[in-house]
A and B are shown apart, each in its own frame.
Chain A
Amino acid sequence: MTTTAPKTPTVEADAVRPPQRPRMLSRSARRTLTPYAFLLPALVMELLVHIVPMAVGVWISFRSLTQFYIRRWSEAPFTGLDNYRVALDWSGPTGAELMHSLLVTVIYTVCTVGLSWLFGLTAGVLLQKRFHGRNVMRTLFLTPYALPAYAAVITWSFLLQRDQGMLNHILVDQLHLTDDRPFWLIGDNSLWSLIMVAVWRTWPFALLCITAGLQPIPQELYEAAEMDGAGFLLQVRSITLPLLAPVNRVLILVLVLWTFNDFSTPYVLFGGSAPHAADLISMHIYESSFITWNFGLGSAMSVLLLLFLLVVTVVYWIAVNRRRRDA
């Protein structure tokens, strides 16, 4: 309810009345601070869920945290850079195994991301033109990405069994491609099995992103190219790929980071302990800490992995952005 006060000369009144303290923030302050207020919950969650645990992890890496100290972390003895020294000593067994798992992971990531991107691009381009059943195909292709990891990968582990698995049943019993029943879950083939399962799970995501990235490309460009006599592959190389470049830049980086850190696929496929040929670094760190109860060493390895991925990301980002600036 507002009451209208009797009109009084305002100049006089202001001179007499002392300036009132604002009960709320001034309008401009509110405008500046409101976005941060909206960001605050996300920031707090990010701190609690990501940053603080990472900082604790780094703290653990400087200590010898074994089963003797897991109940009282603050009493774990300070060991300085000892854990890092063990992890980086490539002539010692721990360091050598870590280096081996890093190399395996690099091969795994390159193959998985490369093949996923290639399949995603091919399917995305071929599914651009509308045809009967296109939506059905798109849904079918996206299914592996939508399935829960455990259910999907455990099914693959049954398919890949040597004696009872369907893959060997088809290859050996029905197609007679080889007499020797190959192993898929142990030995040297295990890395290729892992890559196959990872590509199966990952390529739908690439298809999704590339499909989205293809939408804004105007159809006229392709029609013009066709009139100029460009074939399909030339059109892809000179129109599709350059215009997809922004999407590809982010897609590849995201795929590389996710694939490098992939834990659930090897863990479920190999039942908790990976064969030597497919010893991914995430599994390796898990086995060096949780299974041997040496959390200090596991944390040191995790920090080294973090630094490695940071360097890769920075180098990649500089490289792709420089190319853009030159172009």
Chain B
Amino acid sequence: MVPARKIWRLFLRYVAIEMAAESEFRTDFFAGLLLSLSNAAMLTIFWDGLLRVAGPLPGWGMGELVLMSGLRTLAGVVGYVFFRMSQLPGKVLRGELDRYLTKPAPAFLCLQWEVLPLRSLIVESVSGAIVIAAAIFGWGFALDIRGVVPGLLLLILGSLIQTCFQTSVAALSFWMGRVDGLQAVLGEAEWFRRFPVTLFDRPVQVLLTWVWSFGLVMTYPVLLMRGELALVWPLLDGGAAMLVSWGLLLSWLLSAGLRRYESNGG
């Protein structure tokens, strides 16, 4: 078991390494920010047009929809900080785990942090903050301050569940080799990230909240921040239980997968 303090220190080391790499390749911070804000702006234009034509959505005004768009951007940051293991299959096939399996280090975390997208992380944080500020000050979202912390906690829980889900799929590569097809099929559900899950039928809502967890990441944090505080404990308890379940499944998959790892190449 790797001590938590060591994991934190290693994370900071990878941040330093990424900063060194950034100075090797001069990347354009402002172009990235512009891209992120453009995505949020296009979605906002879409909602604005839709609401003009179709009238108000039940419980969702422009303030809520723009806030949701900002939270979606922030959720990406959580995904970057914690391990997003979509690249695991390729690394398993190329035998790239060897480097860390012979080191007293958390192999899967190190493997992910090798490509820590520091610039994207900062860009998305700034962009998310701008969009959230626009929702509150531009579109008049009525923020209930008591819902902010539970809302952000739920966003983090939901992002971690998504990460566990994606990593579990990626971990199947220990058995199946290539899983890009499966990843692509399941990734199609990402399309739903743009919409409040409460707009859909009940079974779809359940699926998008407790399996893909888009609801936990974006829809319900908005409701909590709007002051619907009766939802706090059911959502946080349910989210925590889901995270533990996914975490246990992922942990089993990774440890069983390592026993099948064949270290191709070399």
* B partners with A: no
B interface residues with partner A (beta carbon < 8 Å) = none
